[in-house]
Amino acid sequence: MSFVHKTVLLHEAVAALAIHSDGCYVDGTFGRGGHSRLILSHLGPAGRLVAFDKDPAAIAEAGRITDPRFSIVHDGFAALGEALAARGVTAIDGVLLDLGVSSPQLDDGARGFSFRFDAPLDMRMDTTRGPTAAQWLAGASQQDIAEVIRDYGEERFAKQIAAAIVARRGERPIGTTRELATLVAGVVRTREPGQDPATRTFQALRIFINRELEELALILPQALALLKPGGRLAVIAFHSLEDRIVKRFMQDAARRDLPDRLPVRAAEIPPPPLRLIGKPIRAGAAELADNPRARSAILRVAERTEAAQ
């Protein structure tokens, strides 16, 4: 089947990179290549783009790009430093991260990301490695399940859901998305208007199974270390947990700390390694009308300064 992917904040994100034609850039989440193809269109003959993705389907799509300036890494973006070093890249001009799950992953019921379909409860972005959501639920403790659903899904009924999962698996394994969604619906009695009772649980399991927050926390300092002065870091987040990590990292790296009670002038304090660029950017009305999934997207941008880390 062919699944349509509408790249969120396509032009805004690429514009935020302030691309130099001979620069070296990283697309940390290739997806179906919307951002990568636009970045390549801005590069000259000496430019270079290295993209990353866990998803074998994304890697297959990347194989259709025959541009010699482009290369793809079948791995999560947390492998940034090691993968670039293996390719002889020691400094870059920009990094773009489009976080979360892609439309093809959600719309392909067989991937097990969505409760809209009845399919094996997989949820892995990289289907070639690691346990599925069903496998993890079959062996995890009730406390671990509750903590994951609470911490990654911000679900107030996490304890009740975990208890129901453990009770059900004592009778038979929970192997499909519909089984899990029905189980959760029986526990979560109230929910925000328009939101399925299973939304937060599915989000939590997806984030946990794919180590999304851990990998985000790992790549940000790597990106900062590799960026050249003037290089840009642009990150599109889709929910509060990941956006909080990005926001705090950028703000901390852009903060100029003055020594407490010491006779030092501000001009003598070294500048911070990052400079925040503009205000956070959200999708406009036209994009939201065309792609409702863009409604939660928020783009933050920061620029590397001349300061040493």
Least confident residue range of 26-40, 116-130, 139-153: 116-130
Q: How confident is the model at residue 270 (pLDDT cuts 50, 70, 90)?
A: confident
**Joined tokens for residue 59:** 């890697």
Identify the architecture of domain 127-209 in CATH.
Orthogonal Bundle (1.10)
By C-alpha distance, which of 129, 142, 297, 154 is closest to 210? 129
Is 243 labeled as ligand-binding? no
pTM of structure: 0.90
Which residues, 6 or more positions from 224, have their beta carbon under 8 angstroms from its beta carbon? 233, 253, 273, 274, 304, 309
- pLDDT bucket at 213, cuts 50 / 70 / 90: very high
The superfamily in CATH containing domain 10-103+212-304 is Vaccinia Virus protein VP39 (3.40.50.150)
Check the annotation: does 249 bind a ligand: no
10-103+212-304 and 127-209 have identical folds: no
Residue 109 has what pLDDT?
61
pLDDT at 60 over 60: yes
pLDDT at residue 104 is higher than 70:
no
Sorting pLDDT into bands at 50, 70 and 90, what band is 265?
low
Determine the Cα angle at 13 with ends 69 and 205, to 5°: 100
Confidence of residue 5 (pLDDT cuts 50, 70, 90): low
Give the pLDDT band of residue 100 (cuts 50, 70, 90): confident
Q: Where along the chain do its domains lie?
A: 10-103+212-304, 127-209
53 labelled binding-site residue: yes
Instruction: Determine whether the annotation assigns residue 126 to a binding site.
Output: no
- Sorting pLDDT into bands at 50, 70 and 90, what band is 3? very low
Residue 33 annotated as lining a ligand binding site: yes
- Decide which of 263 and 169 is more confident: 169
The CA R_g of the chain, rounded to the nearest whole Å, is: 21
The mean pLDDT value of the chain amounts to 90
75 is in an annotated binding site: no
CA-CA-CA-CA dihedral for 208, 218, 53, 22, to nearest 10: 160
Chain segment 144-190, per-residue pLDDT in tens? 999 999 999 999 999 999 999 999 999 999 999 999 999 999 999 77
**Rounded Cα distance, 77 and 45, in Å:** 25
Q: Quick one: average pLDDT of 281-306?
A: 92
User: Does residue 35 have a known ligand-binding role?
Assistant: yes
Task: Say if residues 243 and 237 touch (Cβ distance below 8 Å).
Answer: yes
- pLDDT tens-digit series, residues 6-19: 788 999 999 999 99
